[in-house]
Copies of this chain bind each other. A is one copy, B any other.
Amino acid sequence: MSRQILCLPGDGIGPEIVTEALKVLDTVKERFSLDIEVSHALVGGAAIDAEGTPLPAETLKLAKQSDAILFGAVGGPKWDDQPMTNRPEKGLLGLRSELDLFANLRPAILFPQLAEASSLKAGLVAGLDILIVRELTGGIYFGEPRGVRTLENGEREGYNTYVYRESEIKRIAKVAFEAAQKRNGQLCSVDKSNVLEVTALWRELVSGMADDYRDVELSHMYVDNATMQLVRKPKQFDVIVTGNMFGDILSDCAAMLTGSIGMLPSASLNEKTQGMYEPVHGSAPDIAGQGKANPLAQILSLAMLLRYSLGEMAAADAIEQAVGDVLDQGLRTGDIASEGCRLVSTAQMGDAVVNCL
């Protein structure tokens, strides 16, 4: 039976970069004789425009039936006036939650060809390779109660709930410990346990699991310090595990340290091997439709999809190799451009990867 990939291009540069990733998929399908079927659906602002909702029932149904989802990006100023419950982001958050994609893996890797692109001094980031494991279906993103109420004195008050239960903490910690075992054996758990009870429980439970992973060296850091340490000495980290909101902040910070946020893919996995794969960067509405976007994060997301959800290691490796090759050839989109390199468009970059395959 053929495997099903659902394509959700979304908004902004999403459609452009997904188009390039699909060119690459066609090529590896042929080269590695993969039996993969691709379907398409609407999500985010595009779905609001067409159907009035960021996550149409048909999209969710297709998502649940698929083996893996290739996701572009959602959001943009066009939908800023949507009520909170109908924003483009709700499409993304709804998929994460409905498919129980609790484990978000965000590698922050410095591509040696792009060493100069980092804002940090070269010595601090050369060879940087951090994996951020972010809990993705709980915490303050999904906690209830939430909303805006009017107080007795007539003032409005906004409120959200930051909540984690034992089983949620343990299952993401397990993913992180296991990832650390396969890497350099170091895990740093990030919390604010000196102030927030929910993260004190987090620290207690993660600590309690350390005995089951004696080959992993576990440390803990407060989130404010972790952000500082990322800037000060990023190579001290191997794997970082943290909750949804701190993970949102830390993973963007780590990605930016590499100077190549247009290059970084991510995977969101559930207990089965089902997963959603998307670039770490967003929908970049300011450059949408201009052929300027860097499709490499999307293409590398496809590689992660082939590796984690379809088990097609050779195809995944080939794509990553091809991306390395186009960088070696000096091809660059605007976001990673530097002197002496050749500036190319989104489509030219995609074609170049195809040619290297």
Tell me, rounded to whole Å, the shortest Cβ–Cβ distance linking A165 to chain B: 4
Which residues in window 220-255 of A have CB below 8 A to B? 223-225, 227-228, 231-233, 245, 248-249, 251-253, 255
A202 and B87 alpha carbons, distance in the complex (Å) = 17
> Within 8 Å CB of A165, what residues of B?
151, 155-158
A347 close to B (CB within 8 Å): no
Which B residue sits closest to A164, measured CB to CB? Answer: B158
Are B162's CB and A161's CB within 8 A? Answer: yes
> Within 8 Å CB of A52, what residues of B?
none
> Within 8 Å CB of A195, what residues of B?
89, 93, 141
Q: What per-residue 1/0 map shows which CB atoms of A186-208 lie under 8 Å from chain B?
A: 00000010111111111000000
Are A163's CB and B159's CB within 8 A? Answer: yes
Identify which of A64-72, A118-126, A265-273 touches chain B: A118-126
A257 close to B (CB within 8 Å): yes
A93 and B161 alpha carbons, distance in the complex (Å) = 20
Tell me, rounded to whole Å, the shortest Cβ–Cβ distance linking A97 to chain B: 12
A148 and B202 alpha carbons, distance in the complex (Å) = 11
> Within 8 Å CB of A251, what residues of B?
224
Q: What per-residue 1/0 map shows which CB atoms of A288-326 lie under 8 Å from chain B?
A: 000000000000000000000000000000000000000
Are A225's CB and B252's CB within 8 A? Answer: yes
Knowing A119-B120, A120-B121, say if A261 contacts B228 (CB, 8 Å).
yes
A167 close to B (CB within 8 Å): yes
Are A166's CB and B160's CB within 8 A? Answer: no
Are A249's CB and B224's CB within 8 A? Answer: yes
- What is the number of residues of chain A that contact chain B, defined by CB distance less than 8 Å? 58
A143 close to B (CB within 8 Å): yes
Which B residue sits closest to A142, measured CB to CB? Answer: B195
Tell me, rounded to whole Å, the shortest Cβ–Cβ distance linking A82 to chain B: 10
Tell me, rounded to whole Å, the shortest Cβ–Cβ distance linking A244 to chain B: 9
Are A200's CB and B119's CB within 8 A? Answer: no
Are A228's CB and B252's CB within 8 A? Answer: yes
A115 close to B (CB within 8 Å): no
Are A223's CB and B194's CB within 8 A? Answer: no
> Within 8 Å CB of A253, what residues of B?
227-228, 231, 253
Tell me, rounded to whole Å, the shortest Cβ–Cβ distance linking A41 to chain B: 22
A146 close to B (CB within 8 Å): yes
Which B residue sits closest to A253, measured CB to CB? Answer: B227
Knowing A224-B249, A227-B252, say if A155 contacts B166 (CB, 8 Å).
yes
Are B198's CB and A227's CB within 8 A? Answer: no
Are B245's CB and A192's CB within 8 A? Answer: yes
Query: CB < 8 Å: which of B158, B192, B196 contacts A198?
Result: B158
> Within 8 Å CB of A282, what residues of B?
225
> Within 8 Å CB of A147, what residues of B?
197
Tell me, rounded to whole Å, the shortest Cβ–Cβ distance linking A246 to chain B: 8
> Within 8 Å CB of A1, what residues of B?
none
Q: What per-residue 1/0 map shows which CB atoms of A84-118 lie under 8 Å from chain B?
A: 10010100010000000000000000000000000
> Within 8 Å CB of A119, what residues of B?
120-121, 124, 231-233
A339 and B181 alpha carbons, distance in the complex (Å) = 39
Given A192-B245, A192-B248, A228-B253, 18 more pairs with CB closer than 8 A: A89-B194, A89-B195, A119-B231, A120-B231, A141-B195, A155-B165, A155-B167, A156-B165, A156-B166, A158-B201, A159-B163, A159-B197, A159-B198, A162-B162, A223-B248, A231-B257, A232-B256, A253-B253
